[in-house]
Amino acid sequence: MGLVNPELGTFIWMFIAFASVFFLLKKYAWPSIVDAIEERNDSIKEALLSAESAKEEMAKLQADNQKILKEARRERENMIKEAKELGEQIVREAKSKATEEAEKVVESARQAIESDKTAALSEIKAQVASLSVQIAEKVLRRQFADDQQQKDYFQELMKEVKLN
Amino acid sequence: MKHIHRLLLIAFFFTSLTPAFASVSDDHEPETHQVSHEKKKFEPGNFIMDHIADAYDWHVFSYGDFHFTAPLPVIVYSNNSGFHIFMSSNFHHGHSSYKGFELAKDGEYRGKVVEMVDGHQVRPFDISMTKNVMAMLISMIFLLWIFLSVAKTYRRRKGQEPKGLQAYLEPIIVFVVDEIAKPAIGEKKYKKFVPFLLTIFFFIWLNNLMGLVPFIPGGANVTGNITITMVLALFTFIITTVNSNKNYWKHIFNTPGVPWWLKFPIPLMPLVELMGVFTKPFVLMVRLFANITAGHIIVLAFISLIFIFGEMSPALGMGTSVLSVAFVIFMNVLELLVGLIQAYVFTFLSALYFGMAVEDEH
C-alpha cells in the first residue's frame, strides 16, 4: 500500500517548503494583515463611539439652545412687562405731579389774590382815613351857625369824596 | 455577505470546469493499453491508485497515442552509483530504464523509482521533485504571492476599506482569527498562534481546491498525500509541545479529578493521556488524508464506471457516462465543501491543542 506509506523525499521537500513559507508569511504577511484589520476595527469602533457621543452632545446642545431660547423669550416678556409697568408708573407719576403742580399754582395765585386784596383794602382804609381827616379838617376850619347848615355842608363834602 | 457570494461564484467556476476536464484527462489509462497493442482489461483499482498516488511526471493530456506530460526532475542517491539528477522523461512513461533506474511496475515499490541490483528492486534515497512536490511548491508560491500582495495592500491602504483580493480574503482571515483562534485558545494567548493557523488554513484550503482542478497547476492530490498531512500534523505537534506549560503536563501525568488507583501503582491514566499527545496529531494527519483521498477515489470510481461499462459495449459506456458525469459534478460540489470543512477542522483542532497546551490552572 504505497498510499499510506510516507515518502522521505516528499517529507523533506514539504518540511522545507512549509517551514520557509510559514516563516516568510509570519514575518512579512500575517502581522501587517492582522494588525491592520485590528487597527481598522478599533478605529471604526472609536469612530462609532465618537459619533454617538457627538450625537449626544448635539442633542444636549440643542436642548440647551431650546432652554436658552425659552429663557430669552421669558426674559423678553418680562422686560416688556416691566417696561410697560415702568411706563405706566411714569405716566401716573407725571400725572400726579402735574396735578400737584397745578394745585400749587392755583394755591399761590389765590394767596397772591388774597394778599393783593388785603393790600388794596388797607390802602383804601388808609385813604378813607386820610380823607376823613381832610374832611374833618375842613369842617373844623369853617364856623357853623346851625345844625342844618352843618349837615348840608357835610353832605356836600361827602359827595366830593370819591373812592378811587 | 457580498464577499461570500463572490467566493462561492469563484469556487463554483472552478468546479464547473472539473467534471468536463476530468473525463478528458482521465482516459489516458485505457489508451496506453491500446498502445501496447494488447487488449488488456481495464483495472479500476490500478487506474484509481495511479491517479491518487504521486508520480514522477505530470500528465497534461493525451490525444490518441500522443501523451503530453510535463517531465519532472528525478533526484536520487544510491549506495551503489551515487548521486543522480535527470528528467523523468528518460523513463518514457515507465517503458525504459535509465542509468540502472526504472519505475517499478509492480511489487512493493509499484510506481516508484527503483534500482535493479542483482535482480532485486532496491529503493534509492529519493528526493525527486514529484508531481505532489511540484504542485505543493506551486501552491506555496501562490500562497506567498497572494498573501504578500494582500499584506502590501493592507500597508498601503491603512485604515481604508478593503479592496480587490484583500476584500475577498479579509472575511476568511477574520473568520480564522475570530472564530477559530480566539475561542479555541482564549482571548489572552491566541495572538502567538494566529500566523500558523492562518498558514495551515489557507495552505490546506488552497490545496484542497487545487486538487479538484484536473489540470496543471491542479490535478495533484497534495492534501490527500499522507506525507504532506504528516508534515502539517508534525508542525502542529511541535508547536503544541514547544508552547506547552506545566499545567499541560500535569494534566497528562497527574490528571486531576481521576481516582488515585488509576494512576498508581499501574499508571493507566498517564499512559492513556501520554498516548493522546501523539494520537492527536496522528488523527489530524489521517483525517485530512483520508477525507481528501476518499473524495478523489469516489470521483475516479464514477469515471471508472464509464470504462467498465464501455468495455462491455460502447453504447452502455455512453449511457453510463451521462450518469457518471452527473455524479461527478455532485461529488465535486461536495468536495468543494469538504475541502473547506477539512481546512477548518484541521485548523480548529490545531487551535484546540494549542489552547490545551497554554491553558492556565483554574
CA dist list (Å): B138 to B113, B206, B308: 23, 11, 34
Residue B22 has pLDDT above 70, yes or no: no
Q: What is the distance, to the nearest Å, from the Cα of residue B312 to the centroid of all Cα atoms in its chain?
A: 35
Q: Which of B113, B128, B147, B191 to mutate to test the interface with A (most CBs of A within 10 A)?
A: B147
Instruction: Tell me which DSSP letter residue B259 carries.
Output: -
Residue A41 covered by a domain: yes
Report helix angle B131-156 to A8-24, nearest 10.
0
B111 → closest Cβ in A2, A11, A39: A2
Under an 8 A CB cutoff, do A43 and B159 touch? yes
d(CA B239, CA B53): 29
- The average confidence (pLDDT) of chain B is 83
Distance from CA of B91 to the nearest CA of A (A): 19
Question: Which of B98, B99, B94 is closest to B109 using CA atoms?
Answer: B94
Nearest Cα neighbor of B345 from B265, B290, B308 is: B290
B133 at A interface, C-beta within 8 A: yes
B49 touches chain A (CB under 8 A): yes
Could you tell me if residue A58 is inside a domain?
Answer: yes
Other CB atoms within 10 A of residue B140 CB: 21
Three-state secondary structure call for residue B244: coil
Query: Which B residues 300-359 touch A at CB under 8 Å?
Result: none
Instruction: Please check whether residue B137 is in contact with residue A17, taking contact to mean a CB–CB distance below 8 angstroms.
Output: yes
Q: Residue B140: its pLDDT value, please?
A: 94
Angle at the Cα of B346 (from B344 to B347), degrees rounded to 5?
A: 65
- CA–CA separation, B102 and B93 (whole Å): 10
A81: left (phi over 0), alpha (psi -120 to 50) or beta: alpha
Tell whether the model's pLDDT for residue B103 goes beyond 90: no
- Domain-embedded: residue A24: no
Dihedral through CA A13, CA A14, CA A20, CA A22, nearest 10?
Answer: 180
Indicate whether A82 belongs to any domain. Answer: yes
Q: What is the mean pLDDT of residues B137-143?
A: 93
β-bridge pairing B120-122 and B125-126: unpaired
Is residue B270 less than 8 Å (CB to CB) from chain A?
no
Query: Is residue A23 in some structural domain?
Result: no
Closest by CA to B161, choosing from B3, B345, B359, B327, is: B3
For the cut 90, the answer to whether the pLDDT of residue A114 exceeds it is yes
Among B173, B203, B227, the residue with its CB nearest the CB of A6 is B227
CB B51 within 8 Å of CB B300: yes
pLDDT at B1: 47
Domain ranges, residue A52: 35-160
A17–B140 C-beta distance less than 8 A: yes
**Would A72 be classed as within a structural domain?**
yes
Structural domain includes residue A148: yes
Pairwise CB contact (< 8 Å): B148 & A29:
yes
Interface of B with A in 158-217 (CB under 8 A): 158-159, 170, 173-174, 177, 194-196, 198-199, 203
Put simply, the answer to whether B199 touches A22 (Cβ < 8 Å) is yes
> Min CA distance, B346 vs chain A (Å)?
16
Question: Nearest Cα to B150, choosing from B125, B122, B170?
Answer: B170
Q: State the residue for C-alpha cell 504571492.
A: B145
pLDDT tens digit string along B201-252? 999 999 999 988 887 777 788 999 999 999 999 999 999 999 998 888 888 8
- Summarised one tens digit per residue, pLDDT across range A66-95 is 999 999 999 999 999 999 999 999 999 999
- Touching check for B136 and chain A: CB below 8 Å? yes
Within a 13 Å sphere around the CA of B103, how many CA atoms are in the beta-carbon half?
Answer: 20
The string of DSSP letters for A127-161 reads HHHHHHHHHHHHHHHSPP-SHHHHHHHHHHHHHH-
Which chain A residues have a beta carbon less than 8 Å from that of B196? 22, 26
Distance separating alpha carbons of residues A132 and A134, to the nearest angstrom: 5
Residues of B in contact with A19 (CB under 8 A): 235
In this complex, how many residue pairs, one in chain A and one in chain B, have their CB atoms less than 8 Å apart?
121
Rounded Cα distance, B42 and B92, in Å: 21
The whole-angstrom separation of Cα B32 and Cα B49 is: 16
Closest CA to B335 of B301, B298, B306: B298
pLDDT of residue A90: 94
Number of structural domains in chain A: 1
Q: Under 8 Å CB-to-CB from B147, ≥6 apart: which residues?
A: A25, A29, A30, A33, B169, B202
**Which amino acid type is present at position B301?**
A
Chain A residue numbers touching B125 (CB-CB < 8 A): 8-9
Q: State yes or no: ipTM above 0.90.
A: no
Give the closest of B127, B173, B231 to A37, CB-based: B173
- The residue written with cell numbers 521533485 in the block is B129
Q: Check residue A164 and give its pLDDT.
A: 55
Q: Please answer whether residues B181 and B354 qualify as being in contact, where contact means their C-beta atoms are separated by less than 8 angstroms.
A: no
Residue of B nearest to A12 (CA): B127
Assess if residue A3 is contained within a domain.
no
Average pLDDT over residues B104-123: 80
Residue B173 in contact with residue A33, Cβ under 8 Å? yes
Distance from CA of A50 to the nearest CA of B (A): 17
* Minimal Cβ distance to B151: which of A2, A7, A33: A33
Q: CB–CB of B250/B273 below 8 Å?
A: no
Distance of CA A42 to the CA centre of its chain: 56
**Residue B81 CB contacts under 8 Å (≥ 6 apart), including other chains:** B99, B100, B115
Specify the 3-state DSSP secondary structure of B163. coil
CA angle B221, B227, B233 (to 5 degrees): 110
Q: DSSP 3-state assignment of B1?
A: coil
Closest CA of chain A from B238, distance in Å: 12
Non-local (6+) Cβ contacts of B285 within 8 A are B226, B229, B230, B232, B233
Q: Identify all chain A residues contacting B150, using CB atoms and an 8 Å cutoff.
A: 29, 33
Q: How does residue B109 score in pLDDT terms, banded at 50, 70 and 90?
A: confident
- Give all strands (DSSP E) within B29-144, no chain letters: 57-63, 66-71, 73-78, 82-87, 101-103, 113-117, 120-122, 125-126
Name the residue facing A30 among B52, B110, B198 (closest C-beta): B198
Q: Contact B75/A9, CB-based, under 8 Å?
A: yes
Residues of A within 8 A of B143 (CB-CB) are 21, 25
- Name the residue facing A21 among B143, B174, B234 (closest C-beta): B143
- Closest by Cα among B186, B177, B180 to B355: B186
Q: Taking CB atoms and an 8 Å cutoff, what residues of chain A touch B234?
A: 15
Neighbouring-strand partners of residue B126: B76
**Rg for chain A, CA atoms, rounded:** 63
C-alpha cell at B24: 478528458
Distance from CA of A30 to the nearest CA of B (A): 6
Q: Which pLDDT value is given to residue B218?
A: 77
Residue B7 pLDDT class (50, 70, 90 cuts) = low
- Interface contact flag, A11 B231, Cβ < 8 Å: yes
Q: Which of B110, B113, B114, B140 to mutate to test the interface with A (most CBs of A within 10 A)?
A: B140
pLDDT tens-digit profile of B145-168? 999 999 999 988 887 888 888 889
Test B199 with A30 for CB contact under 8 angstroms.
yes
pLDDT in tens, B316-335: 888 888 999 999 999 999 99
